[in-house]
Structure 1
């Protein structure tokens, strides 16, 4: 044990009336919601990068956190791992997630970086067995090092493409070895800053080739988890090829990968794309590619991805409604891709952030379940689209009627459909009853 969280005890559920800032007020992991424990619905994960690798900087200032593992050698990496699993235990978090660069120092060569990663994987194996905290997903950092300044899979230099491919392979091997339930590809720089120096078509072909190799390798090694793409529209690139869920689906469909790859959706990225989070979840469900979520929030007064811990229960409730209606998580879960504010420098701030986020998600999940159990909202939707259950409507939908046949029926029957209210205000009031 380290002394980083000295004096802090595991967070427990104490109920809504509790005033203990280090206790759960709403997240009761064993509470049954829609037939199964809350912890199985939510499948919480702690993000290694924001909690342990981020130094508290922003575009206008450097490090504000003074962590004892920030030295950058292997001893520091081991200490970081010790502290990380202590936090997982304090939160009773069932999962964690990481990039390779979060857990091991960069080596002087690719081979040395991989060797260091595998040494950390040895440590993780022991700690997973000891604590029960499992790996939700692993991924490779293909954006921080200057070699990736022009992208990884989409780089104009084929040697960078090859380096990225090798890095992905190494991280897939470790993720598979550790029992990870997914592997994520986040294209942090898979886009362009200017079209003046970019062949968009070629770069998308390169990105598809990389993804196809990842899928092939997954099957070769027997990895049973899902391959996930995390959509993001911009920042740092002017435009990124995985802009939002529908863009990703179109990309997957074009290259014949829509049955092999799903999406990991982040709240902050949905907002940057001009969408709500529940929109992105609903679209992923409609396309059949919903996989997992990164839970956070943006500051609506800032034009960038602030990755704050969630505290908006209505927003979270609507997202979990669509997740539950889609059948819930399978291999995915709720990863807190959330970071402390740069002034929140104390160890207990890490607990406050995660406890508050977990409580917010628990409240959202219970509200979503209550909406479903009540049935009024679902009944409204059924009634609104009930006309499509009719014989002629089904014939049109199934392609059994031509444009001419439909036009002839409209003329023969003298159809004159009248508008019907969408009842948005009623629906907003209805949802507010639960959140």
Structure 2
């Protein structure tokens, strides 16, 4: 045991009337919602990068946090960081964690040294996982921080960087598999461009398509039975990123015959950056059959960049889980808190309280979403609105040709009158639950 969280109790459910800051008001792990425990619906995971690797810096200032595992440059400190991480997972009752390679091990002088550091970290945490029952939701490779990736990883104009990226992902898939990870994520923060003056988008897209195909093939070859996920984001750090949003990625997957091999890990903040709502991206991914997992956070709506704050807006979160429940819930995916403290929040208790609030917000949203779905008012409104398309005549028209559809207008004297979309009524219905 370390003393990093000294004096902070294990977080327990005390109910909505509790005023104890170190207690859940809504997240009751074993409470049954729509036939299964809340913890199995939500499948919470803690992000290693924001919680333990991020040092509080921003583009205008450096480190603000002071942690006993800094400066994060040795395996001894990486192991201390892992000790603290598992203490936090246990305090919160979080069943999973997520990681990048660069979060958990120090950078070596060579690729082999960095890889071996990753493997040594895995050796160290496996007994902790077995002892606590805490699992790996997903692993991924950081191919955006080191300067070698400044022009991309798989999309880099230098084929040597492509090879280095392949070696990095191979090591991370191997480690994810060894840890029993249920998914492997690809996020292309540098898979994009800063200017078209030095960019061949067609070539880079081909490189990316081949790389993703190689990843899928390798995962199958080694028997990784988890889900391969891509995480959309339109920009930041790149001016334009190829994984812009759900629709863009789905078109890309279709081009390379990967739409049945790869799903998406969708983040609230990234949806906002792309000009969408979180529920828009989830709804579209669900409709296309590619919704895999989520990164839960929120953005500051005035700042214009990805602030990765903890979720605290129950109405937004409820609509997100409404889409997930309509899908039938997560399979290998879950709710990863891709959220970080504000750089002025320096204390260990801030780290705990941020997650307590986020977990409670998600639990309240889940319960509201379940009630909306069980009551069926929104679903009935959809059924009623599209009822005309359930008729045999409408189905026949949709399966026919343009001339046949056009002929109906004069033959039947069609002069359609508009019908109310009743948006205000539906918004009022949602507000009953949240």
Aligned match of 1:407 = 406
Deviations 1:134-162 (A, max 9, x none): 00000000000000000000000000000
1:377 Cα deviation after fit: 1.1
Question: Does 2:335 correspond to 1:334?
Answer: yes
* 1:62 correspondence with 2:62: yes
With normalisation by structure 2, the TM-score equals: 0.99
Distance in 2 (alpha carbons) for counterparts of 1:408 and 1:250: 34
Matches within 5 A, 1:92-103: 92-103=93-104
1:73-104, Cα deviation, whole Å (9 max, x unpaired): 11100000000000000001000000000000
Give the Cα–Cα distance (whole angstroms) in 2 for the partners of residues 186 and 70 of structure 1. Answer: 26
Q: Deviations over 1:137-192 (max 9, x none)?
A: 00000000000000000000000000000000000000001000000000011000
The answer to whether 1:75 aligns with 2:76 is yes
Q: Aligned residue for 1:52? A: 52
Query: Which residue of structure 1 aligns with residue 25 of structure 2?
Result: 25
What is the CA distance between 1:10 and its match in structure 2?
Answer: 0.7
TM-score, scaled relative to structure 1: 0.99
Instruction: Give 4+ residue runs of structure 1 displaced > 6 Å after superposition.
Output: none
Q: CA deviation at 1:396?
A: 2.4
Bigger mean CA offset, 37-46 vs 401-410: 401-410
1:8-407 matched pairs, under 5 angstroms: 8-71=8-71, 72-397=73-398, 399=399, 401-407=400-406
Matched residue, 2:429: 430
* C-alpha distance in 2 between matches for 1:374 and 1:258: 33
1:122 CA displacement: 0.5
Structure 2: unaligned runs, 5 residues or longer: none
- Matches of 1:90 and 1:393 in 2, distance apart? 57
- Matches of 2:421 and 2:405 in 1, distance apart? 25
Question: Within 1, Cα distance between the matches of 2:402 and 2:15?
Answer: 60
Cα RMSD of the aligned pairs, angstroms, is 0.6
- Structure 1 unaligned blocks of 5 or more: none
Distance 1:162 1:418 in 2: 60
Q: Is the 8 A contact 2:282 2:324 kept in 1?
A: yes
C-alpha deviations, 1:356-405, integer Å up to 9, x for none?
000000000000001011111111110000110001111123x2x11111
Alignment check: 8 A CA contact 2:397 2:404 kept: no
Aligned residues: 433
| Structure-2 separation of matches of 1:146 and 1:52 | 22
Could you give the per-residue CA deviations for residues 319-361 of structure 1, whole angstroms, max 9, x where no partner exists?
A: 1001100111000000000000001100011110000000000
CA–CA distance in 1 between the matches of 2:20 and 2:397? 59
